[in-house]
Amino acid sequence: MVFEDDELLVVDKPPGWNTHAPDPYAGEGIHEWLRHREPRWADLSILHRLDKETSGLIVFGKTPLANRSLTRQFEERRVEKVYRLRTDRPIRASEWTADWSLVRAGERQVARPRAAGMEPAETVFRHLSESAGGIDWEAIPKTGRTHQIRAHAAEGGMPILGDRLYGGGEARRLHLVSHRLAFEHPRTGRPVAWTVEPDWSADPRVLLRGAVIAPGETDAFRRLHGSADRGAEGLHLDAWGPFHLLYSDPDAGRGGPEEPGRVAGLAVPDLYHRPLNRRVGCAGTDESGPRRVWGREAPPAFTVRENGVVYEIRFDQGYSVGLFLDQRDNRRRLLTGHVGAGFPPLSLGISAPEVLNCFAYTCAFSVCAALGGARVTSLDLSRKYLDWGRRNFALNALDPAAHDFVFGDTFDWLRRWARRGRRFDAVLLDPPTFSRSKERGDFRAERDYGSLAGLAAGVLRPGGVLFASTNAARLEPGAFLAQVRSGLAAAGRRIVSERYIPQPPDFPVSRDEPAYLKTVWLRLD
C-alpha cells in the first residue's frame, strides 16, 4: 500500500500479478484480491491497468466521484504517467518518440505506421543512465494501449530486459516499472503525486510474497510454486516459521536443492525435503515424512503463525505437517466474518453462530471460526488429529471444553444429525480427494462431491453458509460448481449468495502450473 484516503487506493503492484483475473476461475488479480479482502474496498474500480509482468504504481477508485474524475482525467490525458525501464541494447538517440499504431498478432502487439482509421499510440523515451546492469530509460506514454511501451521499445531497437514476448535480453523479471503517477485529487482538485524507485535486483518471487504476507502476522506460506515462479520448475517450497519444507517433482528432472543454503536462488537456512507425488495433486505427497537436508533439526513439534493465529506443526507425521497453506485466506474469512464484496457477513447478527467443520484434520478452520465468535463442532475420523486440534485451540487461548470434538465418519454423522434435526449456521467441507470406507465404499471428489454437498445441506439452517472446497486437480472448476449446485438442488436448497475463490497469490497460476484449488462460499435459503 502506498496511499489511501476516502476516495483513492494507490498500491505498488509486484511483478507477476495480474491487475484483474483473466477468467473467473483463474487466480485472483490484485483488483479482485483487494475487493474481497476488506469491506471498505468492496467497491474498488480499476481506473488503469498494468501488464501482469509490469510492476509499480496503480490507482483504484473507491467512490463514484473518484471514478468519474479519474476516468475523465485519463481520457483527457491529464494524468502524468512515467515509467522506468532497462534494456541491454544501446541506440544512438538520447530522446525519441514512438508514434506507431499497434495491431494485435496473437499475444503480441505489432507496431505499424500510422494510417487512417488506426488508433494512435505514442510514447516518448528519454535516456537516463548506463551501468554494468544495463541502460535505463524513462518512458512517458501519451496514449494507453495494451503493451504499448513494450512494443514501442522493441520496435525502436531497445527491447526491455526480461521481455520474452518482445525479444528482450534474459532477466528474472520484466524490467518495466510504473514509476510516477500524478493527477488532480478527485475531491479537493489539488495536485497529488507518488513515485516508486525500481530495484532491478529484487527477486520477483520475493516481491510477490512481500505484497501479500504481513511478516508480523504470518510466517507460514509458499515461497516457490513450481513453474509459476520462474526458475523454480518442479520445486514447491514452503516456509514453516524457522524451517522450510521442499517438495520436488521427479518428473521435472529436479531431485531437490542444488547447492547448500539456497533453493532456486533463495536463501534457505534450515531445509527439509520430500518428493512430490503429482498423482495425488499439488498438495499430495508420499507417506514418508520429510528428510532433513541441512541446517537445524526441527523439534518434534513447533509453532507457526498465520494471520496472527498460532498452529502446532510436526514434520514426523507423514502425509501433512498440520496445516494446508493454500487455505490461508479462507481461514481469514472465518476470523473476520467477511467473505467478500457482495456476500453477506457470516454471522448475520447471530451472537454465537454454530459451525460444523467436517474432515476437521487438526482443526485449523475450527480455531479461526472460534476466534471469530462461533461455537464449533470439529468432526474427523482420527482421534489423533482431533487431539492435535485441541492443542491448537489451547495455543490460541481458546477453551477446548467450550467446543465439541466428534470422532467418526463425516457421511455417517451428517445423516445421523439430519435425522435428529440437528442444525448448524455454517458447514465447512474440505474433504480428501479420495477416501475409502467399508461401510459406504469409495469417495472420489471428482465424482461424488455433489452428494456430499447435499448431505451437508441437510444439517444447515435456513440462511446458513456452506463452504465447499477441493484440491482435486482433475476436477475442473465448472464441473465442481455444477456438482455442488446439483447436490444442493436435489436436497431442496436454493443458493441466494455465492462467492467462488481460487488459490491465494503465493500459489500463483500459470499455463504450466494451472490452478488446482477450488473453493466456494454459498448462502442457502
Q: Are strands 8-13 and 3-4 parallel, antiparallel or unpaired?
A: antiparallel
446: closest CA among 421, 478, 492? 478
- Among residues 6, 23, 43, 51, the one annotated as catalytic is 51
Tell me the β-bridge partners of 61.
Answer: 8, 45
Q: What is the rounded distance in angstroms from the CA atom of residue 432 to the CA atom of residue 359?
A: 8
DSSP label at residue 75: H
474: closest CA among 436, 514, 427? 514
Helices and strands, counts by H and E, the chain: 10, 30
521: closest CA among 328, 344, 311, 401? 344
Tell me the β-bridge partners of 176.
Answer: 85
Long-range contact set of residues 289-292: C-beta below 8 Å, sequence gap at least 24: 289/315, 289/316, 289/317, 289/318, 290/245, 290/315, 290/321
Burial tier of 337 (Cβ tally within 10 Å: 0-12, 13-18, 19+): middle
- Rounded to the nearest 10 degrees, the angle between the axes of helix 477-490 and helix 445-457 is 40
Q: What is the rounded distance in angstroms from the CA atom of residue 147 to the CA atom of residue 331?
A: 37
**φ, ψ at 48 (rounded to 5°):** -155, 170
Q: What is the rounded distance in angstroms from the CA atom of residue 166 to the CA atom of residue 154?
A: 6
Collapsing DSSP to helix, strand or coil, 326 comes out as helix
Residue 51 catalytic?
yes
CA distances from residue 122 to 74, 77, 138, 178 in whole angstroms, order as listed: 15, 12, 14, 17
The residue with cell 473507491 is: 62
Q: What letter represents residue 30's amino acid?
A: I
Q: What is the rounded distance in angstroms from the CA atom of residue 154 to the CA atom of residue 80?
A: 23
Task: Return all residues near 507 (Cβ < 8 A) that are at least 6 apart.
Answer: 27, 222, 225, 228, 325, 326, 517
Q: What is the rounded distance in angstroms from the CA atom of residue 171 to the CA atom of residue 153?
A: 16
Task: Return all residues near 94 (Cβ < 8 A) that are at least 6 apart.
Answer: 126, 127
Q: Which residues are catalytic?
A: 51
